[in-house]
């Protein structure tokens, strides 16, 4: 983006400068204390992740390394899954056995053609570091690796879904569960084990699930055009078939209004997770952990707003602007109340763009209002106890104020005024003031101001 853009949008530039200048990470990595294998791991983290590497490296030191390694293990699995050059009969056992593989010292894989292949070629450094982890953290990562590897293998073998795409909302959510819900589960367990989050979160898996669903659904909604180019489709047929007959119609300018309505319904479906997400984030006990979960959530609600009723999402890959991203990062790294205001702001923007001709118009409006209602339950602006007290006080005061009393009050005020005037004039007179010219002066002033119309003017009429 050119200088001209920022000239026209100074707010965007301001947010970016503010973020660069004022963002003070709670924790920082200390590369001096890191051994060679660990700094290699961080190099891979920076290489493979654009959005997560920064927040991960600002995490509390207790979880810095475990979450970095958890991320790299998932990235490793993902690289294998995505690689279409690996034959299925090799891929499936690799995925299912990855939790065993990641315990073999010196394991490397050289047959991948994916962009992140380098990670697999030197995966031994990850294995070395995994073995140094506290046992509780290691067990969580291993358990999640088993679940994710099996989930991915199931999908790789699911030719029905690969050929025909996702059919029902249930299937769509199951897919989101495997790619994001499980990551969330692992993270929650790590947060709880390290006491950076309220242990109650572990008892409410639905909240964690919503965190992952919200992020993954947002990605799917935004990536519709890119996925279409890759001949993949994650929008469930149950939703899109209500708006268009064939999936290709979504991209046909002839059906633009229907396609935009379809995206709206997808956005509505994603918005139903927001209340759970806000509730989940209320459970964070550590600032760095809060930032880690809040930034992606803030980005997600902004991305949904960007996609909502925006035909551009059907034509290209759209992204929130850098300035908006910096603004969201600023506001997502303070506290839940500030973050809630981010959600309120974007919910209201969605509501403002909502179109009465959209079949889900009312449901979308309700969902936005419900987000505001939920924020109200977290941070109430009204206190019924205080209101009751105020109402009682008013009740006591007002009946005593009859019209008779009002008249007395006015009489008293007037009386005081007159007395004061009298006293002041008296004092002035006592000290030698003369009032005989005053009336004449006033009369002159009155006539010159037009009180008595000059006779002269008549001629001109």
Active site residue 28: no
Q: Minimal distance in Å, beta carbon 169 to other proteins? A: 17
Task: State the number of CA atoms in the 13 A half-sphere of 326 facing the CB.
Answer: 16
Q: Which is nearer to other proteins, 387 or 414 (CB)?
A: 387
Q: Is 348 in the site for other proteins (CB under 8 A)?
A: yes
Q: Is residue 187 classed exposed, middle or buried when 0-12, 13-18 and 19+ CB atoms within 10 A define those classes?
A: buried
- Tell me the closest approach of the beta carbon of residue 99 to other proteins, in angstroms: 43
Q: Which is nearer to other proteins, 373 or 447 (CB)?
A: 373
175 is catalytic: yes
Q: Provide, rounded to whole angstroms, the least separation between the CB of residue 257 and other proteins.
A: 11
Select 386 or 434, whichever has its Cβ closest to other proteins. 386
Q: Distance (Å, rounded) from C-alpha 281 to C-alpha 336?
A: 7
Q: Is 355 in the site for other proteins (CB under 8 A)?
A: yes
Q: Which stretch binds other proteins (CB under 8 A): 244-252, 278-286, 363-371, 429-437?
A: 363-371
Measured CA to CA in angstroms, residue 451 lies from 144, 284, 442 at distances of 93, 76, 11
Give 450-458's long-range contacts (Cβ < 8 A, gap of 24+).
none
The yes or no reply on residue 363 touching other proteins (CB under 8 A) is: yes
Does 231 participate in catalysis according to the annotation?
no
85 vs 382, which CB is nearer to other proteins? 382
Residues touching other proteins, count (CB under 8 A): 31
191 is catalytic: no
Transcribe 424-459 into DSSP letters.
HHHHHHHTT---HHHHHHHHHHHHHTTSS--GGGGG
Single residue of 108, 158, 377, 421 touching other proteins by CB under 8 A: 377
Catalytic residue chosen out of the listed positions 42, 255, 280, 292: 292
Q: What is the CA radius of gyration of the chain?
A: 34
Site string for other proteins, 388-407 (x = CB under 8 A): x--xx-xx--xx--------
Nearer to other proteins, 171 or 372 (CB): 372
Q: Which two three-digit tokens encode residue 188?
A: 């929650």
Residue 294 burial (CB < 10 Å; 0-12/13-18/19+)? Answer: buried
Residue 360 Cβ vs other proteins, minimum distance, rounded to whole Å: 8
**Any idea what the Cα angle at residue 357 is, between residues 352 and 360, rounded to 5°?**
75
Contacts of 231 (CB under 8 A, 6+ apart): none
In the bound state with other proteins, the residue whose beta carbon lies nearer, of 82 and 376, is 376
User: What is the C-alpha to C-alpha distance for residues 250 and 241, in angstroms, rounded to an integer?
Assistant: 10
Residues binding other proteins (CB under 8 A): 348, 351, 354-357, 361-363, 365-366, 368-370, 372-373, 376-377, 380-382, 384-385, 387-388, 391-392, 394-395, 398-399
Residues with catalytic annotation? 175, 222, 232, 292
């Amino acid at each position: 983006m050119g200088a001209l853009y920022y000239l026209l949008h100074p707010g965007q530039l301001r947010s970016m400068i503010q973020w660069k200048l004022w963002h003070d990470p709670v924790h920082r990595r200390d590369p001096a204390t890191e051994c060679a294998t660990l700094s290699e791991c961080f190099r891979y983290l920076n290489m493979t992740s654009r959005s997560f590497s920064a927040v991960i490296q600002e995490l509390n030191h207790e979880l810095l390394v475990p979450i970095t390694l958890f991320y790299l293990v998932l990235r490793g699995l993902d690289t294998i899954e995505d690689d279409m050059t690996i034959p299925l009969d090799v891929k499936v056992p690799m995925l299912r056995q990855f939790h065993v593989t990641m315990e073999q010292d010196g394991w490397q894989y050289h047959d991948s053609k994916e962009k992140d292949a380098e990670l697999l070629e030197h995966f031994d450094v990850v294995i070395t570091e995994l073995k140094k982890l506290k046992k509780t953290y290691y067990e969580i990562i291993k358990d999640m690796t088993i679940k994710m590897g099996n989930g991915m293998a199931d999908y790789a073998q699911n030719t029905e879904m690969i050929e025909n795409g996702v059919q029902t909302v249930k299937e769509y959510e199951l897919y989101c569960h495997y790619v994001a819900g499980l990551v969330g589960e692992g993270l929650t367990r790590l947060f709880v084990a390290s006491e950076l989050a309220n242990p109650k979160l572990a008892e409410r898996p639905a909240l964690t699930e919503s965190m992952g669903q919200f992020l993954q659904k947002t990605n799917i909604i935004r990536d519709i055009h890119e996925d279409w180019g890759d001949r993949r489709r994650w929008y469930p047929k149950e939703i899109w078939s209500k708006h268009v007959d064939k999936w290709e119609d979504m991209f046909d300018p002839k059906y633009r209004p229907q396609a935009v309505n379809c995206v709206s319904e997808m956005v509505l479906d994603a918005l139903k997770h927001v209340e759970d997400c806000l509730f989940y984030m209320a459970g964070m006990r550590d600032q760095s952990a809060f930032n880690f979960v809040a930034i992606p959530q803030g980005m997600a609600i902004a991305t949904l707003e960007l996609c909502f009723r925006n035909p551009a999402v059907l034509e290209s890959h759209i992204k929130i602007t850098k300035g908006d991203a910096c603004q969201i990062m600023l506001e997502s790294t303070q506290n839940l109340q500030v973050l809630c205001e981010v959600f309120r702001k974007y919910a209201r923007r969605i509501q403002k763009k909502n179109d009465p001709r959209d079949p889900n118009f009312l449901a979308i409006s309700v969902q936005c209002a419900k987000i505001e209602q939920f924020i109200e339950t977290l941070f109430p602006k009204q206190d019924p106890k205080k209101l009751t007290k105020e109402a009682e006080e008013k009740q006591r005061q007002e009946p005593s104020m009859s019209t008779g009393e009002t008249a007395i009050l006015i009489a008293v005020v007037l009386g005081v005024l007159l007395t004061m005037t009298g006293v002041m004039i008296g004092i002035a007179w006592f000290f030698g003031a003369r009032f005989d010219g005053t009336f004449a002066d006033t009369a002159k002033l009155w006539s010159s101001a037009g009180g008595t119309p000059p006779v002269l003017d008549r001629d001109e009429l």
